[in-house]
Structure 1
Amino acid sequence: MIPHPSVVSRCGNMNRLFSKTPQQKDRYARATLFLIALTVPLVIFGAISALKTTSNDPRQWLPKSFAETSRYDWFLQHFGSDEIAVVSWPGCELDDPRVSSLAGSLEESEFFDRVRTGQSVIDQLMQPPLDLSRAEARRRLGGILIGPNGKTTCLVLSTSVAGKADRVKAVSEIERLSQATCQLPASELRLAGPTVDAAAIDIESRRLLFQLAGISAFVSFFVASMRLKSIRLAIMILVVAGYSTGLSLAILYVCGSKMNLLMTMLPPLVYILSISSAVHLANYYRDAASDSATQDAHTNALGTAVAKGWLPCVLAAATTSIGLVSLSLSKIEPIQMFGIYSAIGVTSSVGVLFVLLPAALHLFPPRIEPIDRAAQATSGDANTIRFSDYAVAAISRHNVLVVIACLAVMAFYAKGLPSIKSTVRLQDRFLDGSDAINDYQWLETNVGPMVPLEIVIHFDKDSPLDLVKQMRLVAAVQKKIHSLDEPVATMSAINLSPSLPSGSRVRDVIQRKLINRPSTKQHLIDANFLAVTDSEQLWRITARANAIGDLDYGLYAEQLQLAIDPLLEQQGARGTYTGIIPLIYKAQRQLLMDLFRSFLAAFAIIALVLVFVLRSVSAALIAMVPNLFPAVVVFGGLEWIGIPLQIGSVMTASAAMGIAVDDTLHFLTWFRRGIDRGLSRKDAISDAYGRCAGAMMQTTLICCSGLLVFTVSSFVPILHFAWLMVALLLAALIGDLVLLPAILAGPLGRFFEKSKASPNR
């Protein structure tokens, strides 16, 4: 039964709080606002400091506990960082003097350690001891530094520690020096590589924070003002939401964490959810204040609103926080951090709501027009009253049909859930036509593929194979890679070494001695294509695949391993396969696991909360059905229309379930109170519908309008996050205002009544 005795006790304490003398109430309210005002500078400082710490290091998206990540770390220890920036432009050819000029300027920059160009490497290959012909040198660099036409080239910049610390500045330095040295405007440059990708994400993060988030806040405030029909009340709600948002950012800063692209959704999410809770409490207040019986006693109305509203608001915040904190089960750090800090933000916002809003309402009460008793149960305008009456009558009359129809829709979309796909590929992170996609397409068409897969061949220190024989195996592996169907470019020690001897002629003997010289080995070590440890000799082969296209990275990595391993086993060697491609494949699979793991955890914990609230296992499980409705329909629908899950998509399922339970708890709270007052089940549904439907639609409209602003983002994970949240919130509204009332009106509704109540009540 609800409320529980402990809840009654707490409500009594709140009522006693509002039973003070008017002077005491004024002093309490003023003191509250004064103390809040004192903390505002600290909150602003913390929030601004947090916003300045944006960091989108590509490594943070790699699950640290995976063997694939450990292998990648091992690779970096032996061959150095592979973070690069690739620069080219239309007309960037081997004989273009601007290439060497820009390379010289960039080599002097603190943001880059080394600069390689097609011409500079050709010059090295044509010098002793290799003495390659120009044509042979070009052939060896094809697809890596020289395009298919044999002329187009690029600059490959190795990013320094300073460049990794601020990738946006590093990319800005490329653009600045291009203009200053070669009169090349930024619009003509074609940029790619991990440094450029991270900089693009950083720039989009800042745009989200300083442009879209502000627009979202304004849109949410505007919609709230229109729906509440009170500028003063809307301003109070705006202040509560703004303070809660700033506090959540300040907490993030104090805890030593940094903003990243996903974390940029923290401020708007906390802001929107704070508005949602505040609108519910404001509607409780308007309901009490507009009652003609309490119109003469404003403070009594405020006390009634807090006493009636605190339980559903706190429980709703708790379930929302549970949904969010379940994201901490993810193996991907940015998703973990988003879940933890958004849950903290939502929880702290409830405290702010019940401290700040009652004090503001007491000192600056908005004008509320009284309504007569006949409209008290619905507490909404005429349109809402007519809608509520019609909806309740239709749903109650056809409750079985409505439930069957909703369950049929769920079953239809549930068929797509087992086949749902995920992606973290570059081309799926940015919109078609964006600068990032256009640059990659141009570079891969005119120069070569951009996404690396690293193959490391291990030879034991006591291997009977000399350097030449080991290199011959490396060459065989390269040939095998090119024999597969996928168009790739490869680079290894073979590209930077003299031609391998093939016989026993005098020339071959000389060539063999030349290759076996210590200086040759050192040259390859310096080029990061050979590494020597205490027990092994390691040869590196880089295979570059296209970033843009339909290549299945997981399948391609498996094909490579199946083709190469037999060659290595014949010579007593073994291979390690690492790089971006295996990590992307692993991260894609991890996204699906994170989605289902966090969703199941949220479902289980929220179900336990409902068992506690409803005092019935059966009622709690039945009440979870409307909250499963949005996730099943929306995520099943993604598979039907062929949209893969993004990183931003994973965050929505658990969060949306928590938000959906918000409205469910409000509805069930009023339904159970109606039952406790002796109303029949149908009348209790009508009473709950009248009290909650307006607020539910208002909060959904406010949340959706604020989130829709982010659909203009050029970063697809954020765009998906916004669209999915909107779809989930709208589906949740159907679940709470259609499916839930139908369940309550039908045979299953008896589980929500008192044990002594008749099933037909």
Structure 2
Amino acid sequence: MASFFEKRDPWGHNLSLWVVVFMIFITPVLAGVLREIRQENNVENWLPPDDPQSKVLAWHRKSFGIEDRILVSWEGSSLTDLRAERLKTLLMGTADEKGIRHGGSPYIQEVVTPQDAIQRMVEYRIEPEEAQERLKGVLLGTGMLKIRLTEAGKKRQEQTTQELIDKAKSELGLVLTVKPAFKEWVEMVDESEEAETIKEPIDEDEEQVDFKELVASIPAHDFQVSWSRMQPDAELTNQLKQIALSLTRPSILPEPLAASSEEKTDSTPLVQPTLIEDCFFATGTPISISIALSNPGDADHGAAVDAVKAAAFKAGIPAESLHIGGRPAAGAALNRMVKKSSWDTDYPAWQFHKRSVTLFSGLIGIALAFFMLRSIRLSCIVLLVSYFTTFVAVSVVPLTGGTMNMVLVVMPTLLTVLTLSGSIHVANYWKHAAHVNIKTAVVEAVEMARAPCMMASLTTAIGLASLITSPLSPVRDFGLYSAIGCLISLLMVLFGLPSLLQLWPAKPPKASEIDTRNWQKLGNALSRHQMMVSLSCLMLFAVSCYGFKWFRTETKVIKYFPDSSRVIQDYLFLEENLSGITPVDTVIRFDKNAQDNLNFLERIELVRKIQSRIEEHPEISGSISLADFRPVSEPLPEGASTFQKLRHAKRVNETERRVRESLESGTAKSFLHLADREVVLEQETANGARSVPVNEGDELWRITSQVAIMTDLNYGDLTRDLNQVTQSVLRDHAGTTHIVTGTIPLFLRTQEAVLESLIKSFGLAFAVIAVVMMILLRSPLAGLITMLPNLMPIGVVFGLLCWMNISIDIGTMITASVALGIAVDGTLHLLTWFKIGIEEGKTKQEAVAAALGHCGPAMWQTSAAVAISLAMLYPADLLLVSRFGILMCALVTAALVADIIFLPALLAGPLGSLIETSLKKEAAADVPLLQEGKATMPHLQHAIKRAQSEKTFET
């Protein structure tokens, strides 16, 4: 039967021509499709909607009307800073006589300043100082550690400061940053022409808080210090305070004795005056503003963040002093960084390696192809096929309604290098065939490459497709689209590349270019020492795998940014000076029975008690609930008079009425919800899953706590602690229960899903590929042994990561299944030519040498091209892309070592014997059938294929 590349159309043209015409035709069509591609990097959408934690979070957000919020602060801000009110007005607009706002930003729904919150608390008869303390760690920060010097310290302030810096460095390992003492912000009218003075009308009926008095209450001090990951209540902070208070001047004599040195005796005491009088944190500076996004703002986080920055500049806040945090801010920064990894216009065109790390990675691979193939025309064809495959595969994403995400962004580079790998294999087959006969080279190259390339592409696709089992949507998308791209790559390697070679053939190679004597020598050496090599590789494999006992995962999006990025600097400022960025909510449920047993004020005090216990946790910077907007209620004393009871009941009823009236609008709507339908919520805890039923009419009280995201805090431990603290208070009150929800439990569930994905996807890929190997080698034991060189790269690289205590994130997780598929590529090529050698009657040592001689050059060339290309992703600012590149480089390198060292040693030993026995049995079974004329088509095809293989190998 004629090959595809030997056939002609009715007009006498090669079919290759129509393949190339089709490629040219679809190019402009797909280019238009690519313009419609969109990005989606919302971590809350990673889990499927039917996941229990996703259901709880969705119910929680709908019940309390929670919107995405941005936290804004700036250096030197305080409660007397007029820029806070200006920023609010610029974002919200000004209200007319009917209360309708004009101007403002369409991306913003609500702006809450600490001044607003304190003013609201004061209206409910809470003292301003108490209100300020309740907002600590939420909207008000304690700022840096403030240092007050003694008179002796003031006389030598520079030396004292330097001594404190040196001691903190030597004894605690802290690098202190020293800043001047806090100064109240004073408006300079001519300071900025851009600053706009916009004032809201003041309601004269309201009791106005004297914020100047609150700021003036901050104790006097001489300078401030801060350090990385600073936390006011941490043990490290207390140690630094002790060091500071222990600083003294060098020993001196008392003043009366200093004047007359001859009066000095051995008993004269030496005076060591202290240098630092006090060191403390003070609530009130800096301040932060909480900004809720509208529906348009939630749909476009980047535009919302830009609107906040523009308004802050108009309000007179310098851009370098502004700090923005929150999930929308991180999401917008992530989208920008994902785009920049593809094309960053901040760098000039001549700095191409920085302008586009992904494109530069692909170009490095192509440059390596030029070097290795030693043919400009052949390299250009390989380049064209590699990039065209990536172009088509990426176009599938918008064609199917998909979106790009931070995981999928590495797919183009991966497909480029995978296609490059297959193309180099085919190009090497073509060079061997063209050295004999240039006219039949394309047909013979495709015939030689078809079986191993198909098996390699299919096994790689299986490894990628196994990721579809993941509950995480970015991983599923990556697995699906990459598997599709792998099949497109196979078509291009077996049809696109040969078609271009047939229409535009390269020059036949020189004899020196296909000299494989060194590879055959390596094969002979490995065969002679196969036992030692095999045991060494197994030992390395086992020691590396021992590191899995320290395996851990990481899913915080903020961890994908480099420390030098602006978003990291913003988060560090906010968490070191103000509050934790990540909210975790504890929802307290009171059913009808609990509402009857506890009056409204008692329920408020119970919530306040739980909140107070939660705030004692060292990782909680602060919390807020409806109880913060109510004064503390004293319980009715025993033996109270009838008048006292009636008065207390009236106060309870009046408080409940006012709160319930404000559920539609006002403060209460975000902290108290009356259930309007029945629902059963499922939540995983340290003691297993538990159900929390919510019935119509139940009261749901929300306590929001702020937690740092930049620390190495174990969110599982935090969630368990919050459950225990809350349960310890509620256990004595029938009809009460609680549930912990928010972003932190979602992160915890996502971490678990990462681990589940890694195990399930890798297990499935291993099982399917192992079955394929068993069928291919016609021996279950041989199939399992063959998987050892394919498992070794993953075991060694991931095991060493665990040894080094490096967490596995969503980007590194996907590399395991990908690497398994890539490792099988070289294995299949080597096995194919080893079997051919055995079928020719060669010994195992001769077959190993011949197989390495034939496959070795292509294997190291493809591995070098892939590994070095992917290593070029390492400088990417987005750490997910950077880690993916360097980890894939390590895995591909380890796979090369396994395929050219470990596998040949196994083939020269027991694995080769199993394959040899299997082939002899198969050949013996075919002989009588051929002699008797009873052979079926598979038997005939196998005999013909064996004869062709022998002829090809001899050639």
Which TM-score applies when normalising by structure 1?
Answer: 0.92
Aligned twin of 1:141: 135
Encode CA deviations 1:173-213: one digit per residue, 9 max, x unaligned: 2222222332522x332111010111111011111223222
Distance 1:697 1:175 in 2: 51
**Distance change (3 Å), C-alpha of 1:238 and 1:71:** same
The answer as to 2:342 corresponding to 1:355 is: no
Cα distance per residue 1:417-440 (max 9 Å; x no partner): 233111113553323333222211
From 155, 161, 164, give the equivalent of 2:298. Answer: 164
Give, in angstroms, the shift of residue 324 of structure 1. 0.4
Distance 1:19 1:448 in 2: 72
Distance in structure 2 (CA, Å) of the matches to 1:25 and 1:345: 33
- Quick one: percent identity of the two aligned structures? 31
Counterpart among 756, 760, 766 of residue 597 in structure 1: 760
Distance 1:48 1:239, change over 3 A: farther
Q: C-alpha displacement at 1:25, in angstroms?
A: 7.3
Question: Aligned letter for 1:560?
Answer: L
Judged with a 3 Å threshold, the aligned counterparts in structure 2 of structure 1 residues 24 and 224 are, in CA distance, closer, same or farther, namely farther
Candidates 633, 637, 644, aligned match of 2:807: 644
- 1:423 is aligned to 2:551: no
Q: What amino acid does structure 2 have at the position aligned with 1:146?
A: L
- Residue 378 (structure 2) pairs with residue 233 (structure 1): yes
Is the Cα–Cα contact under 8 Å of residues 322 and 606 in structure 1 kept in the other structure? yes
Q: Map residues 422-571 of structure 1 onto 2, 5 A cutoff.
A: 422-426=553-557, 428-462=559-593, 463-464=595-596, 465-503=598-636, 509=648, 512-513=651-652, 516-523=655-662, 526-527=666-667, 528-533=670-675, 534-571=696-733
Code of the residue aligned with 2:332 in structure 1: it is A
Q: 2:112 aligns with which of 91, 97, 116?
A: 116
Residue identity matched to 2:308: I
Q: Is the Cα–Cα contact under 8 Å of residues 620 and 705 in structure 2 kept in the other structure?
A: no
1:629 paired residue number: 792
Following the alignment from structure 1 to structure 2, what is the Cα–Cα distance between the partners of residues 654 and 279?
Answer: 23
> Contact 2:5/2:499 (CA < 8 Å) preserved in 1?
no
Q: Is the 8 A contact 2:57 2:741 kept in 1?
A: yes
CA offsets 1:259-313 (integer angstroms, 9 cap, x no match): 111111111111111111111111111111123xx2xxx2301110001101111
Q: Displacement, 1:225?
A: 1.2
- Cα distance in 1 for partners of 2:382, 2:599 equals 76
Moved more, 720-729 or 173-182: 173-182
Contact 1:60/1:334 (<8 A) preserved: no
Q: Which residue number in structure 2 is paired with residue 132 of structure 1?
A: 126
Residues 667-700 of structure 1, C-alpha deviation per residue, up to 9 Å, x if partnerless?
Answer: 1111111222222221211111112111111111
Q: Greater Rg, structure 1 or structure 2?
A: 2
- Post-superposition CA distance 1:491-532 (Å, at most 9, x none): 101112233234459798399347624222333664300001
Look up the SS of the partner of 2:542 in the other structure: helix
Equivalent residue letter for 1:248: A
The aligned counterpart of 2:446 is 306
Aligned to 1:8: none
Q: Which amino acid counterpart does residue 518 of structure 1 have in structure 2?
A: R
Check whether the contact 1:430–1:437 (CA below 8 A) recurs between aligned residues.
yes
Task: State whether residues 550 and 803 of structure 2, in contact with CA within 8 Å, keep that contact through their aligned partners in structure 1.
Answer: no
> Which residues of 2 match residues 254-293 of structure 1 at below 5 A?
254-291=399-436
With over 3 angstroms needed to count, the CA separation of the structure-2 counterparts of 1:367 and 1:715, relative to structure 1, is: same
Q: Distance in 1 between matches of 2:560 and 2:604?
A: 38
Match of 1:324 among 461, 464, 478: 464
Q: Read off the aligned partner of 2:662 and give its amino acid letter.
A: H
Q: 1:596 Cα shift?
A: 1.1
Supply the distance in 1 between the matched residues of 2:461 and 2:784 (Cα, whole angstroms).
20
Query: CA separation in 2, counterparts of 1:715 and 1:423?
Result: 15
Change in 2 beyond 3 A, CA 1:605/1:175: same
Find the residue that maps to 2:702 and give its secondary structure.
Answer: strand
1:46 equivalent to 2:191? Answer: no
Change (3 A) 1:426 1:217: closer
CA distance in 2, matches of 1:21, 1:111: 61
Moved more, 689-698 or 40-49: 40-49
The Cα RMSD (Å) is 2.2
Equivalent residue, structure 2, for 1:57? 42
After superposition, what is the alpha-carbon deviation per residue over 1:577-612, rounded to whole angstroms, capped at 9, x for unaligned?
111111212221221121111111000001111122
Q: Which amino acid aligns with 2:651?
A: R
Q: Which of 72, 82, 97 does residue 57 from structure 2 map onto?
A: 72
Equivalent residue, structure 1, for 2:394: 249
Q: How far apart are residue 136 of structure 1 and its match?
A: 1.8
Q: Which secondary structure does the structure 1 equivalent of 2:35 belong to?
A: helix
Q: Deviations for 1:558-593, whole angstroms, at most 9, x for unmatched residues? A: 011112113212112100111111121222122112
SS in structure 2 opposite 1:415?
helix
The structure where helix makes up a greater share of residues is 1
Aligned to 1:3: none
Aligned 8 A contact 1:217 1:268 in 2: yes
Amino acid at match of 1:179: F
For 2:739, what is the secondary structure of its paired residue? strand
Q: Is the 8 A contact 2:779 2:918 kept in 1?
A: no
Report Cα offsets for 1:544-566 as digits up to 9, x if no partner.
11112232111111011112113
Work out whether residues 19 and 495 of structure 2, in 8 Å CA contact, stay in contact via their aligned partners in 1: yes
Segments of 5+ residues of structure 2 without an aligned counterpart are 93-103, 143-281, 344-355, 676-695, 922-955
Is residue 468–residue 515 contact of structure 1 (8 Å, CA) maintained in 2? no
Deviation at 1:645, TM superposition (A): 0.5
After TM superposition, give the deviation of residue 82 of structure 1 in Å: 4.2
Matching residue's letter, 1:41: P
1:202 equivalent in structure 2: 335
**Count of aligned residue pairs for this structure pair:** 727
Report the Cα distance in structure 1 between the residues aligned to 2:311 and 2:375, rounded to whole angstroms: 55
For residues 198 and 665 of structure 1, do their structure 2 counterparts lie closer, same or farther at Cα, with a shift above 3 Å needed? same
| C-alpha displacement of 1:28 | 2.3
Instruction: Give the Cα separation in 2 of the matches to 1:669 and 1:604.
Output: 21
Aligned-partner Cα distance in 2 for 1:756–1:657: 26
Aligned residues of 2:7 and 2:14 also touching (Cα < 8 A): no
Rounded Cα–Cα distance in structure 2 between residues aligned with 1:657 and 1:699: 16
How far apart are the structure 2 equivalents of 1:325 and 1:21? 36
Query: 1:659 is paired with a residue of what secondary structure?
Result: helix
Matched, 1:224 2:224: no
User: Any idea what the Cα deviations from partners look like across 1:596-631, whole Å, max 9, x if unmatched?
Assistant: 111110000011111222222222111111001011
Structure 1 residues 698-709: aligned runs within 5 Å: 698-709=861-872
Task: Name the structure 2 match of 1:686.
Answer: 849
Query: Which residue number corresponds to residue 455 of structure 2?
Result: 315
Q: Partners in 2 of 1:115 and 1:681 — Cα distance?
A: 77
Relative distance call for 1:429 and 1:756 in structure 2 (3 A) is closer
Tell me if the contact between 2:601 and 2:652 (Cα under 8 Å) persists in the aligned partners.
no
Amino acid at match of 1:58: V
Amino acid aligned to 2:134: R
Whole-angstrom CA distance in 1 between matches of 2:34 and 2:773: 35
Residues in 2 aligned to 1:425 and 1:21: alpha-carbon distance in whole angstroms: 57
* Structure 1 residue 344 displacement after superposition: 0.5
Does residue 1:102 correspond to 2:233, yes or no? no
Distance in 2, Cα, partners of 1:519 & 1:562: 32
In the aligned structure 2, how far is the partner of 1:65 from the partner of 1:21? 54
